């Protein structure tokens, strides 16, 4: 599994999170489900096990919109990938910073 996220966003940006699912031969493969959870720097859950959208074979996407109330710092991302034969997690992160004119 792999999570792809641009590393830094200004508050009010939309974060695009991609999760890629691979089989044992390292080819993209569909999962039964892929759910995402996001925690802010204080450990507060912002997104709790929400289904990601399948956009292509083995590719899952989620958009997280930030606003001026978002805490600055590193946000932790966890994708829960489930298939009939396995259950695993992929981890990633992104940073939210204040804008110049905030």
Burial of 93 (0-12, 13-18, 19+ CB in 10 A): middle
What residue spans define the domains of the chain?
Answer: 2-97
- Whether the per-residue pLDDT at 5 is higher than 80: the answer is no
Nearest of 80, 98, 95, 74 to residue 35 by alpha carbon:
80
Q: pLDDT for 40-80, tens place per residue?
A: 999 999 999 999 999 999 999 999 999 999 999 999 999 99
- Superfamily the domain 2-97 falls into: Macroglobulin (MG2) domain (2.60.40.1930)
Please give the DSSP secondary-structure letter assigned to residue 22. Answer: B
Q: Which residues, including other chains, have CB under 8 Å from residue 24's CB and lie 6 or more apart?
A: none
pTM of the model: 0.89
Largest Cα separation within the chain, whole Å, is 50
Q: What is the DSSP letter of 52?
A: P
């Amino acid at each position: 599994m792999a999570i792809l996220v641009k590393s830094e966003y200004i508050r009010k940006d939309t974060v695009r999170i991609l999760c890629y699912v691979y089989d044992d031969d390292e080819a993209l493969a569909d999962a039964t489900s892929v759910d995402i959870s996001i925690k802010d720097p204080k450990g507060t859950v912002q997104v709790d096990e929400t289904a990601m959208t399948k956009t292509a074979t083995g590719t899952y996407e989620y958009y997280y919109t930030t606003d001026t109330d978002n805490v600055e710092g590193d946000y932790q991302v966890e994708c829960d990938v489930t298939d009939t034969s396995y259950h695993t997690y992929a981890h990633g992160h992104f940073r939210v910073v204040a804008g110049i004119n905030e």
